[in-house]
Structure 1
Amino acid sequence: MRVLITNDDGITSPGLAILAHVAADAGHEVLVAPPNREYSGYSAGLNGEQGDDGNLLRTEGRPPGLRADIEAFGVHASPALIAYAAGMGGLGPRPDLVLSGINLGPNVGPAILHSGTVGAALSAAAQGIPAVAFSSTGREIEHPETATAVVTEAFRWVTSHPQDGRVLNINMPDIPMAQLRGLRTAVPARFTLEDGERDRQVQRLLFQPFSADAVTFEPETDAGLLTRGWATATLLRSHTHDESAATMPGFQTQEA
């Protein structure tokens, strides 16, 4: 199986090596192709630079800690465009699986919508490629052993279950392995900006290290569980319509 590793934090991010090593240790062919710079907040935006040959520009580089036997280079493009190009054969053979992350900061609740990490996974899923997005509460990933354990479990799950077009969104606390309570399914939290103080709290959540006292969340949501030492798993869908929605009124411009 060929596995593409990308992210939105760029080629210097430490989370790339963790994902790559888990996939390689499972016996798979791995390509690490993250953006050449940070693309946080780009969601599924398709931004990039092409060379004279029409292909996305690449830059030499390797993520910190990546083993020498794993292929890697930077791409002058947003993470969603990297996943899209890979699915079209623009980065070599089409990948069988896309792993995006590990994002330096959580992607929970409405923040999921704006995440370039999640955007890459959704872009892959839109092309029929199974994908997982990974995010950590840490800004440096101080506990790689915890991240490796969570990634390994998620990787085992996604490679052993039939795929139905959904994306697995994994968030993990950056805490010692002994303090990790486990991995649980969760629904996205809801952030409501009730006043100015609440707004500042949400800003801290999105742009500073995640902390249990930032906002009080519903306990069984992704953010609520994350603050209590759980890693969380949430299934997301890419482009789709709401089959349960009522039919909207319409019109036609000429007789049928």
Structure 2
Amino acid sequence: MTAGTGVLVTNDDGVTGEGLRRLARYLRDQHFDVVVAAPEGDESGCGTSRAVAPDGLVPTRTSTLAGLAGVPVHTVAAPPGLIVAAACQGAFGPAPDLVLAGINPGANTGPAVVHSGTVGAALTAACHRRPAVAVSLGHGAPYHWDTALHALAVLLPAVLPGARDRRRRPLVCNLNVPNVPAHRLAGVVRAGLGAHGDTRFSIQRLGPELLRATHHPAACHDEGEAPLLAAGYATVTPLRPVGEDTEALRHLAAAHRAPATLAGELP
């Protein structure tokens, strides 16, 4: 039962993104109470940023999107992390029960989740105790948006209980979908977070006052999400917002030192 479940749809590519429009329309047709609030422009790579102007003012305006009759649309001059935080505090109507970010054109795998605005939106939702899914589709034209929606439909039953019961720990999932026709989707499977993403980021110094940042396709890796995506599977990786490093805490406890002593020794 989805009627009455409020869903915020956002992205990091801008409010006119085709993936966002497809996602919002699908959810509306599934009888969710959908609100769209998304950046006015491209905010890719912003992570969980909540950057605002020095005066703290965030311009926002109501908009319309083709095919989304009856769905409130808010265009916001802010990154998706700030938008999600605002929505969870009632800035665009009742706080959402669930946050969905995407559909992002291009996978967000491995370390890329740290930088992705799509994933950053989902992690911000978790900080406000809302379940969330970041949805990304592999690169390559034409984009098979329906394949991503099919994979999301498989995942949603596991996520929705947290939207209905605030006592549950909110589930946050990173969903990556291969860009293949829906009939070629091999399934939706759990995947660990890979040690490498699908792109490599490098910096060159071109002169005393100039750097060049470049993204390169990364070589295929045999762990994490990459081999599963290459085999035609959509991958689900549960994530959580920033937390304590429990392994490091065990090492500290084993040292038998008082915190006051450690404070003067840690870098």
Give TM-score scaled by structure 2 length: 0.79
Structure 1 pair 48–152 and aligned structure 2 pair: CA distance change class (3 A): farther
Structure 1 pair 89–140 and aligned structure 2 pair: CA distance change class (3 A): farther
Structure 1 pair 152–102 and aligned structure 2 pair: CA distance change class (3 A): same
Q: Is the CA contact 2:37–2:74 (under 8 Å) kept in the aligned structure 1?
A: yes
Matching residue's letter, 2:115 = H
Structure 1 pair 177–223 and aligned structure 2 pair: CA distance change class (3 A): same
Trace 1:102-181 onto structure 2 (pairs within 5 A): 102-138=103-139, 142-160=143-161, 163-181=168-186
Aligned pair partner of 2:61 in 31, 42, 59: 59
Unaligned ranges ≥5, structure 2: 203-213
Aligned pair partner of 2:234 in 231, 234, 250: 231
Q: Is the CA contact 1:49–1:76 (under 8 Å) kept in the aligned structure 2?
A: no
Deviation, structure 1 residue 86: 0.8
Q: Which has the larger radius of gyration?
A: 2
Give TM-score scaled by structure 1 length: 0.82
Q: Provide the rounded CA distance (Å) in 2 between the counterparts of 1:7 and 1:148.
A: 15
Give the secondary-structure state (helix, strand or coil) at the position aligned to 2:83.
Answer: helix
Q: Is the CA contact 1:126–1:165 (under 8 Å) kept in the aligned structure 2?
A: no
Aligned pair partner of 2:260 in 241, 247, 251: 251
Structure 1 pair 157–17 and aligned structure 2 pair: CA distance change class (3 A): farther
1:137-174 alpha-carbon deviations (Å, 9 max, x no partner) = 13566212212211222223311467423411000011
In structure 1, what is the equivalent of residue 206 of structure 2? none
Q: Provide the rounded CA distance (Å) in 1 between the counterparts of 2:117 and 2:201.
A: 27
Q: Is the CA contact 2:174–2:237 (under 8 Å) kept in the aligned structure 1?
A: yes
1:189-225 alpha-carbon deviations (Å, 9 max, x no partner) = 1129xx999xxxx9333xxxxxxxx522125x11221
225-234 vs 156-165, greater mean Cα deviation: 156-165
21-30 vs 115-124, greater mean Cα deviation: 21-30
Matching residue's letter, 1:224 = P
Q: Is the CA contact 1:131–1:168 (under 8 Å) kept in the aligned structure 2?
A: yes
Q: Which has the higher strand share?
A: 2
* 1:240 to 2:249 alignment: no
In structure 2, what is the equivalent of residue 208 of structure 1? none
* 1:97 to 2:98 alignment: yes
Aligned pair partner of 2:191 in 183, 186, 190: 186
Q: Provide the rounded CA distance (Å) in 2 between the counterparts of 1:95 and 1:60.
A: 18
Q: Provide the rounded CA distance (Å) in 1 between the counterparts of 2:10 and 2:59.
A: 15
Q: Provide the rounded CA distance (Å) in 2 between the counterparts of 1:134 and 1:114.
A: 15
Q: Is the CA contact 1:2–1:30 (under 8 Å) kept in the aligned structure 2?
A: yes
Deviation, structure 1 residue 242: 2.9
Aligned positions, number:
235
1-10 vs 14-23, greater mean Cα deviation: 14-23
Aligned pair partner of 2:215 in 203, 211, 217: 203
Q: Is the CA contact 1:108–1:222 (under 8 Å) kept in the aligned structure 2?
A: yes
* % identical aligned pairs: 35
Give the secondary-structure state (helix, strand or coil) at the position aligned to 2:39.
Answer: coil
* 1:38 to 2:50 alignment: no
Q: Provide the rounded CA distance (Å) in 1 between the counterparts of 2:126 and 2:51.
A: 18
Matching residue's letter, 2:86 = A
In structure 2, what is the equivalent of residue 73 of structure 1? 74
Deviation, structure 1 residue 55: 6.1
Give the secondary-structure state (helix, strand or coil) at the position aligned to 2:38.
Answer: coil
Q: CA RMSD in A?
A: 2.7
In structure 2, what is the equivalent of residue 210 of structure 1? none
